[in-house]
Chains A and B, each alone.
Chain A
Amino acid sequence: MIDRIAQLGRATLDMLSAVGRAGLFLLQSIVCLPSREGLYLWVRQMHFVGVMSVAIVLVSGLFIGMVLALQGFTILVDFGADEALGQMVSLSLVRELAPVVAALLFAGRAGSALTAEIGLMKATEQLTSMEMIGVDPLRRIVAPRLWAGFVSLPILTVIFAVVGIWGGYLVGVDWLGVYEGSYWSNMQDSVDFVDDVLNGMVKSLVFGLVVTWIAVFQGYDLVPTSEGISRATTRTVVYASLAVLGLDFVLTALMFGDLG
């Protein structure tokens, strides 16, 4: 019995110290002066994290927009309100689907790769050797990746939303025959740039920070064995997805729930 209680206590302490380490880790790697070389490292990571994720975001954005239009049309046409299709597609994409789905894809595509990369560096003692020759791995390895994730996820979200709205246009207007003028004008009447588009951007900035933070921390903090790397990669995807979905509810309640 006492053993069980001690186990619970140990688990709690472990969790608290992991949270504390993650917080310190974020603070130490984000707060550093930018340098010319740092900028170049950041560009390299932008390519790896951002540009290489464009393809998956394009394809999934297109299909999600098309499915939204198809589903929305079959529901709305019962009420004779199929003119409101543009409004439905654009609001659900800009407010919810683009930030959340892009963040989930990003966690799977880029987050897991970041964890595995940093984890392998740790397992092969590259990080320790860097410290030995006086290069701070937080500055050299972690900071560019964090900033790249923070900047590229909002851009991916914008691309997702634009492609999704275009996909909705293809299905709704070209295929199902919704009048083109009402698709766009209903959208413009109901979407507000600050309330809807910018709030969606705020969401994706938060998601970008959280997902990359979890990914690099899991890589930096793992047990340096091959099993440890595989576990940390799984944890990155699971924790990042749960964090995105949970935070999405909190942010939505603050932005659109008239609570704040």
Chain B
Amino acid sequence: MKRNSVLELGVGVFMLAGILGLVFLGLRVSGLGVSGPSDTYTLTANFANIGGLRPQAKVTMSGVRVGKVTDISLDPQWFDARVTMEIDDAYEGKLSGDTTAAILTSGLLGEQYIGLTVGGSPDMLEDGDVIHDTQQALVLEELIQQFVSNMAN
């Protein structure tokens, strides 16, 4: 059978377009990093209430993205939420030991994320350390309840 190189080229370009498209969906759309796990380090923090925080949520400092939440589980000892975060390698050993973590909301109804604020302690957070000073998520219902009971008094 006679081979048709134009046709083969067309099919090749078609397959290539599929592969490139999948790469685009992976990197750009679902945000898979090319960088391996070695480029981040892990911090954990316990919160009394995480509200609507989910894995993949961003971790910020002064509004700038520095990492993401990788895992949320219940601490069986204290029965509060243990949030595991991956922070960019560039900040390893630069966040002070009394750094605080708060769960913030972007906009009134937007997604929830973690905001870090550094303190003044001379010793620094290393890989695997725990942030002790945390501020739980603002739950709108509780706020309204508080407001109503204050009004009643």
Residues of A within 8 A of B (CB): 37, 40, 43-44, 46-47, 50-51, 54, 79-81, 83-84, 90, 94, 152, 154-156, 158-159, 161-162, 165, 184-193, 196-197, 201
Q: Which of B1, B18, B110, B111 contacts A158 (CB 8 A)?
A: B18
**Cross-chain contact A94 with B25 (CB below 8 angstroms):** yes
Beta-carbon nearest neighbor of B69 in chain A:
A189
Kindly provide the distance from the CB of A73 to the nearest chain B CB, expressed in whole angstroms: 16
Q: Which B residues lie within 8 Å of A84 (CB)? A: 110-111
Kindly provide the distance from the CB of B60 to the nearest chain A CB, expressed in whole angstroms: 11
**How many chain B residues have a CB neighbour from A under 8 Å?**
32
Could you count the A-B residue pairs with CB atoms below 8 Å apart for me: how many are there? Answer: 93
Beta-carbon nearest neighbor of B22 in chain A:
A158
**Cross-chain contact B29 with A197 (CB below 8 angstroms):** yes
Q: Would you give 30 A-B contacts (Cβ < 8 Å), ordered by A?
A: A43-B8, A44-B7, A50-B11, A50-B14, A51-B10, A51-B11, A51-B13, A54-B14, A54-B17, A81-B107, A94-B25, A94-B29, A154-B18, A155-B14, A155-B17, A158-B21, A158-B22, A162-B24, A162-B25, A185-B31, A186-B111, A188-B29, A188-B30, A189-B31, A189-B56, A189-B58, A191-B30, A191-B31, A197-B29, A197-B30
Q: Which A residues lie within 8 Å of B106 (CB)? A: 83
B119 at interface by CB-CB < 8 Å: no
Which B residues from 88 to 129 make CB contacts under 8 A with A? Answer: 106-111
CA distance A83 to B106 in the complex (A): 10
**Cross-chain contact B10 with A47 (CB below 8 angstroms):** yes
Q: Which A residues lie within 8 Å of B11 (CB)? A: 43, 46-47, 50-51
Q: Which B residues lie within 8 Å of A54 (CB)? A: 14, 17
